[in-house]
């Protein structure tokens, strides 16, 4: 932030500049270890590396159309998002930013990139599931003009790893 004041730009512009300087790319199964490490650093507590998030499951999900976008600072993965769709609605999942890189606009940039990737597939409805206690994510999506809906989410799992 000191450099920001010297250059006489506002904090938001400085954050956007930092985000633009990072490398944006589509991630592959070769990035699995870096993605898993980022999810852990970011505190995602729904990771199932012995089940639905195993390397094999991840490779299968990518083969079936799941897209993972990432931002790198030099060669370090510092943010990523998982994108899926049901052909009508696009889902923004597992948005994670390294704690050392938060408050720089990276999450908003990934949401924007995810929406664009979905638009390219002809999808114009975007959604995210956010756990009740995750107010930071809720606030982020609301700032990005997402609306909350009073719905009940139900699920059934075929085992602990699912």
For residue 20, the model assigns a pLDDT of 66
The C-alpha atoms of residue 142 and residue 156 are separated, in whole angstroms, by 28
**pLDDT number for residue 22:** 81
CA distance 146 to 90: 13
Q: How far, CA to CA in Å, does 153 sit from each of 50, 64, 131, 139?
A: 24, 24, 10, 20
**pLDDT value at residue 77:** 96
Q: In Å, what is the CA distance from 21 to each residue of 10, 12, 24, 53, 142? A: 17, 14, 9, 30, 25
Full-model pTM? 0.82
Contact 14/1 with Cβ under 8 angstroms?
yes
Domain map of the chain by residue range? 23-143
**DSSP states of 98-159:** -GGGTTSSHHHHHHHHHHHHHHHTT---EE----TT-HHHHHHHHHTTPPP---------SS
Residues in the chain predicted with pLDDT less than 70, given as ranges, are: 1-8, 11-12, 14-20, 161
Residues 138-152 as b/e (b if ≥16 CB within 10 A, e otherwise) read bebbeeeebeeeeee
Nearest to 64 by CA among 111, 115, 114, 29: 29
Identify any residues that bridge with 85 across adjacent strands, giving them in sequence order.
90
Instruction: Please state which CATH number belongs to domain 23-143.
Output: 3.40.630.30
**141: nearest Cα among 151, 130, 125:** 130
Q: Return the CA Rg of the chain.
A: 16
């Amino acid at each position: 932030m000191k450099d920001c004041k010297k250059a006489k730009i506002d904090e938001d512009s400085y954050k956007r500049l930092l985000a633009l300087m990072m490398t944006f790319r589509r991630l592959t199964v070769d990035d699995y270890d870096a993605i898993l490490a980022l999810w852990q650093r970011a505190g995602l507590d729904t990771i199932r590396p012995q089940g639905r998030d195993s390397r094999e499951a991840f490779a299968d999900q990518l083969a079936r159309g799941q897209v993972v976008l990432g931002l790198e600072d030099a060669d370090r993965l510092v943010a990523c998002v998982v994108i899926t769709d049901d052909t009508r609605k696009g889902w923004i999942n597992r948005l994670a930013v390294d704690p050392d890189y938060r408050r720089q606009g990276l999450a908003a940039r990934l949401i924007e990139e995810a929406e664009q990737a979905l638009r390219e597939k002809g999808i114009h409805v975007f959604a995210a599931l956010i756990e009740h206690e995750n107010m930071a994510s809720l606030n982020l999506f609301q700032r990005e003009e997402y609306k909350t809906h009073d719905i009940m989410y139900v699920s059934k799992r075929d085992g602990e790893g699912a």
